[in-house]
Chains A and B, each alone.
Chain A
Amino acid sequence: MNDVILRLDAVEKHFGATPAVHGVTLEIARGEFFALLGPSGCGKTTLLRLVAGFEQPDAGRVVLDGTDVAGVPANERPVNTVFQHYALFPHLTVADNVAFGLRYKSEIRNQKSDIDEMLRLVRLEGLGDRKPDQLSGGQKQRVALARALILHPKVLLLDEPLAALDVKLRKEMQVELKALQRRVGITFIFVTHDQEEALTLADRVAVMNLGKVEQVGTTEAIFERPWTKFVADFMGAVNFFDGFVVRPEKMRLHAAATAGAVEGKVESKVYQGETTRWLVRAADGKLLTVVEQNDGVPDAVSRLKPGDRVWVTWERRHEVPMK
């Protein structure tokens, strides 16, 4: 990468004896939409806080746009954060929330028009006089974005930005966030535990586990070619065999004996709308997960019930090698 905006170099952070971030090295390109993905407690939020300046690393370097920011406090870093629960100032209006950081940035002039323009950008025009508790969840989210983006940060950090929203709103905000990032061209780094959200929003993803980065890559690479068992499992590829893994939706079920198939019994089936999720107990005791598309036309497979005999097949090319 020739245009690196943020480089993490063997970053370490311990809380007491437990390492929260352990030897993390990452490079993030200018203008990238980057996801830190992992289960709770994997260190992704600590990593974000190290970049924001709320925590200082025990070892390693955080290099922002070519400058080592070791020891630089949060208020002096050209980085802004959208907090998980937005952290809007309840005693200030929307406009005053958005304007909050401007007075500490002397180079930004013409504040009033800046604020109006920013409110328009996040579709909050006319709501500048409201107080945060008069806003919906999605509107609060947009105020938090406006408040940070108005300062033109080199990197915008987002901590579980959509976790506090309900499902429908979350889908809408995903689209909006992605479009907003393209429009402003600022590097976004967001933390999430939701693999689907990471895939939808990000250009590249770092999957974290126990304070370490397990794999960094494009969303497609992470999804289709996981390097480690943890990544495969976290991305939903749960059918592990000796030396390889197969994703559930790449497997097919058959109601009759098929050449090269693994024979088993239906343990359970869960109808999920677009798909049905089957658990099959193979003859050797292994539990396989198979996801079949529903086409609405009942056939021999869709009529199978728990306890019925079933045959599972997959193609060799869908086997992802794994130690």
Chain B
Amino acid sequence: MKHGARSMEHGAPVLRAVTWAVYAFLYAPIAVLVVFSFNSERQTAVWKNFTLDWYRVLFRDELIGHAVANSLIVGVVATVVATVIGTMAGLALARHEFRGKRATMSLLYLPVIVPEIVVGAALVSLFGFIAMRLSLTTVILAHIAFSISYVALVVRARLAGFDRSLEEAAMDLGANRWQTFWRVTMPLITPGVMAGALLVFTLSIDDYIITSFVAGPGATTLPLQIYSMVKTGVTPEINAVSTLLLAVTIGLIAAAQRLQNPAR
């Protein structure tokens, strides 16, 4: 025991160094991106002075403004619709026995596993098949399609630990099924539903691959806009918009995790 403890102590500096190296590898590019979004030099490789100019440029950029608006429309509509449908699916899966339940579950997992490139290609051929013109609507539909699974899975997990006697107690005290759902079931699964919704918004706001397949003219979302700007060279403006996107995403993920583990 003592011997083991000592050898761990000997290994500690090495372990620490490796750990820092891994973190550097993971986060150095992001750190560079964030730092250079505040660089007054247009040349992205040289640091000069601190400035918020690029953020000002950003807010005046009509193309980016349009893309942000599109992303928000898609994100909000997809989140609302996918959360409602996904919650109902999660409830059905957790609560009811029905024919084809196993198959339904497997099908629900599928969008989480299937490569996005495949989903994108499949959707674009589907829209072609039903002669639906690519537009912002097709983007919204695509985002709803790949988001429902995530909500259903999160809600179902939340319901797995749900004490059914709480609902029986509500009925016993005079509430009908509907009243029981709104006064007992829903308040108790709300953290799971909200976590699912935030997850969906996060996935939607930074999806590139699927969106690139199904976006019609004028339906450019923020990730598509950033990518098209990068093609003509990385500018501090791109760093700035990416930094904002990063901040929003981290904030949403943190909120979602907070909701799922309210213990702290």
Residue ranges of A at the interface with B (Cβ–Cβ < 8 Å): 52-54, 73-76, 79-81, 83-85, 87-91, 100-101, 104-105, 147-148, 151
Do A151 and B173 contact each other (CB < 8 Å), given the known contacts A87-B163, A91-B187? Answer: yes
Do A81 and B188 contact each other (CB < 8 Å), given the known contacts A87-B163, A87-B165, A89-B166? Answer: no
Q: Which of B169, B174, B176, B179 contacts A89 (CB 8 A)?
A: B169
Do A104 and B168 contact each other (CB < 8 Å), given the known contacts A87-B163, A89-B184? Answer: no
Do A75 and B171 contact each other (CB < 8 Å), given the known contacts A85-B165, A87-B165? Answer: yes
Q: Of residues 148 to 207 in B, which have CB atoms within 8 Å of A's CB atoms?
A: 163, 165-166, 168-176, 179, 183-184, 187-188
Residue of B nearest to A101 (CB): B173
Instruction: Let me know if B166 and A104 touch, CB within 8 A.
Output: no
Instruction: Let me know if A75 and B166 touch, CB within 8 A.
Output: no
Extra 4 A-B pairs, beta carbons < 8 Å, given A83-B165, A90-B166: A52-B172, A87-B168, A87-B169, A151-B174
Instruction: Let me know if B188 and A104 touch, CB within 8 A.
Output: no
Most buried by A among B171, B183, B184: B171
Q: Which of B173, B176, B184, B188 contacts A147 (CB 8 A)?
A: B173
Hey, which chain B residues are within 8 Å of A89, CB to CB?
A: 166, 169-170, 184
Hey, which chain A residues are within 8 Å of B170, CB to CB?
A: 89, 100
From residue A239, how far is it (CB to closest CB) to chain B in Å?
41
From residue B182, how far is it (CB to closest CB) to chain A in Å?
12
Instruction: Let me know if B165 and A74 touch, CB within 8 A.
Output: no
Hey, which chain B residues are within 8 Å of A87, CB to CB?
A: 163, 165-166, 168-169
Residue ranges of B at the interface with A (Cβ–Cβ < 8 Å): 163, 165-166, 168-176, 179, 183-184, 187-188
A-B contact pairs, 21 of them (CB 8 A): A53-B172, A54-B168, A54-B171, A74-B172, A75-B172, A80-B172, A80-B173, A81-B169, A81-B172, A83-B169, A87-B165, A87-B166, A87-B169, A89-B166, A90-B188, A100-B173, A100-B175, A101-B175, A148-B172, A151-B173, A151-B174
Hey, which chain A residues are within 8 Å of B169, CB to CB?
A: 81, 83, 87-89
Hey, which chain B residues are within 8 Å of A104, CB to CB?
A: 173-175, 179
From residue B171, how far is it (CB to closest CB) to chain A in Å?
5
Q: Provide the main secondary structure of the chain B interface.
A: helix
Hey, which chain A residues are within 8 Å of B173, CB to CB?
A: 75, 80, 100-101, 104, 147-148, 151
Query: Once bound together, how far apart are the Cα atoms of A53 and B173, in whole Å?
Result: 12
Residue of A nearest to B173 (CB): A101
Query: Once bound together, how far apart are the Cα atoms of A59 and B166, in whole Å?
Result: 28
From residue A89, how far is it (CB to closest CB) to chain B in Å?
6
Most buried by B among A52, A73, A81: A81
Hey, which chain A residues are within 8 Å of B175, CB to CB?
A: 75, 100-101, 104
From residue A67, how far is it (CB to closest CB) to chain B in Å?
17
Hey, which chain B residues are within 8 Å of A151, CB to CB?
A: 173-174
Hey, which chain B residues are within 8 Å of A79, CB to CB?
A: 172
Instruction: Let me know if A101 and B174 touch, CB within 8 A.
Output: yes
From residue A98, how far is it (CB to closest CB) to chain B in Å?
10
Instruction: Let me know if A75 and B165 touch, CB within 8 A.
Output: no
Most buried by A among B166, B174, B188: B174
Instruction: Let me know if B174 and A73 touch, CB within 8 A.
Output: no
From residue A184, how far is it (CB to closest CB) to chain B in Å?
17
Instruction: Let me know if B168 and A83 touch, CB within 8 A.
Output: yes
Hey, which chain B residues are within 8 Å of A52, CB to CB?
A: 172
Hey, which chain B residues are within 8 Å of A80, CB to CB?
A: 172-173
Query: Once bound together, how far apart are the Cα atoms of A104 and B173, in whole Å?
Result: 8
Hey, which chain A residues are within 8 Å of B176, CB to CB?
A: 73, 75
Query: Once bound together, how far apart are the Cα atoms of A83 and B170, in whole Å?
Result: 11
Instruction: Let me know if B168 and A75 touch, CB within 8 A.
Output: no
Do A74 and B168 contact each other (CB < 8 Å), given the known contacts A91-B188, A147-B173, A151-B173? Answer: yes
